[in-house]
Amino acid sequence: MATNPPQIAILGAGIFVRTQYIPRLSEISDLFLLKAIWSRSEESARGAVELARKFFPGVDCKWGAEGFDEIAQDDSITAVAVVLAGQTQVDTSLRMLKAGKHVLQEKPAAASSSELETALSAYNSISANFPSRPIWSVAENYRFEPAFLECKNLIADIGNMMSVQVIVEGSMNSSNPYFSSSWRRNFTGGFILDMGVHFIAGLRMLVGCEVVSVSAMTSHVDLTLPPPDNISSVFQLENGCSGVFVMVVSSKSPKIIWRVVGLNGTLQVERGNHEGRHGYQVSFYGIDGQSKSSFFPFSGVTDELKAFINDVSQATLKNGSHYEADSRISFVEGARDVAVLEAMLESGARQGSLVQVKKF
């Protein structure tokens, strides 16, 4: 039985909507219908709509409180993407879930554990009003990156895990479009929390278990960035292995690497460039010095959007009976990434005291 493609709206019209959502969605425009783009201000909504009309000629422009309510009340719109300032995303997502929409919210899932807890309990009570709960997904894309999926196949071959290193030297300087983003400058945890969830998602996916406790030192060196801009953490995994997580928000020599050392081998993922494409180099170093290495271009954002649209279509087909959405984009996965960073930041604020990571 053929079904109509789901109709969706984007709430937000900022840099990420213009440079990622619109172009990536245009690549999969056969899977859904973009019905509207909303922003708080008319000007910003119009700017994004103008870009989107090239690919989605019928897209409506909505703004302000009135435009928001029109989207919430439009039953033909089954899902929304929430791509707003970190401080307002949870509240906006909950309002749309309450209106019965499926939601794909940008990371971070929330700003703190207390907001995560409030969000999850509000979600549970909203769900009680519907025959099947609306889907609440968080877009972090790393759980869809082909490089990390490949690692899931390779990790067993390293044998017993002995040590993990995650080294992130970012390049968040004034050339970066997000550098001046005002909400990020007024966000607890600064860029460490906003960007760090990706690297923690990568870590958790690579090792295949949770981070139990952390100890960290933080500092604020680059005063052009919100604090903290440096974190050095030691962490303990559920499987008994320990590791280090180092993140510098702005470095002159960017480098992003995950490395897991086992009794029988080492697995490494490194951000890089290959034939003009950005992505990750995955290397496996085995017994007797043999090694193999492959490059995986980025495709996580597109693959994640596809998974969400597929979830929405499947849930619609089920018409009210229970549908299990892709767990990789579940709100709770995003919550777990925030909880690890929050524990590190808390430890940093307490000069390295051991902090247990909240379980979600």
Ligand X SMILES: *[C@@H]1O[C@H](CO)[C@@H](O)[C@H](O)[C@H]1NC(C)=O
Residues that bind ligand X (CB under 6 A): 87, 157, 159, 171, 173-175, 186, 219, 221, 230, 248, 251, 254, 264, 287, 319-320
Q: Which is nearer to ligand X, 225 or 340 (CB)?
A: 225
Residue type, 56: F
Helices (H) and strands (E) in the chain, counts: 10, 15
What's the closest the beta carbon of residue 236 comes to ligand X, in angstroms? 21
Residues in CB range of 147: below 8 A, 6 or more apart: 269, 279, 280, 281, 282, 296
Q: Which is nearer to ligand X, 273 or 327 (CB)?
A: 273
Two tokens, residue 250? 């702005």
What's the closest the beta carbon of residue 241 comes to ligand X, in angstroms? 14
Q: Which is nearer to ligand X, 76 or 174 (CB)?
A: 174
What's the closest the beta carbon of residue 304 comes to ligand X, in angstroms? 25
Q: Which is nearer to ligand X, 73 or 319 (CB)?
A: 319
d(CA 166, CA 255): 10
Q: Which is nearer to ligand X, 219 or 293 (CB)?
A: 219
Q: Which is nearer to ligand X, 244 or 332 (CB)?
A: 244
What's the closest the beta carbon of residue 111 comes to ligand X, in angstroms? 8
What's the closest the beta carbon of residue 64 comes to ligand X, in angstroms? 19
| Torsions phi, psi for 69 (to 5 deg) | -65, -35
Q: Which is nearer to ligand X, 159 or 272 (CB)?
A: 159
Q: Which is nearer to ligand X, 1 or 57 (CB)?
A: 1
Q: Which is nearer to ligand X, 67 or 86 (CB)?
A: 86
What's the closest the beta carbon of residue 204 comes to ligand X, in angstroms? 21
What's the closest the beta carbon of residue 273 comes to ligand X, in angstroms? 12
| DSSP per-residue letters across 343-360 | HHHHHHHTTT--EEPPP-
Residue type, 79: A
CB 348 within 8 A of CB 228: yes
What's the closest the beta carbon of residue 99 comes to ligand X, in angstroms? 18
In the block, tokens 């590791």 appear at: 243
304-to-33, 127, 329, 354 alpha-carbon distances in Å: 17, 23, 8, 35
What percent helix, strand, coil does the chain show, rounded to 5? 40, 30, 30
| DSSP per-residue letters across 250-316 | EEEEEEEEEEEEESS-EEEEEEEEETTEEEEEEEEE-GGG-EEEEEEE--HHHHHHHHHHHHHHHHH
- Residue 6 three-state SS: coil
Sheet of strand 211-219, all strands in order from the earlier edge strand to the far edge: 291-297, 277-285, 266-274, 250-262, 161-171, 242-248, 230-237, 211-219, 355-356
What's the closest the beta carbon of residue 143 comes to ligand X, in angstroms? 24
| Torsions phi, psi for 264 (to 5 deg) | -110, 0
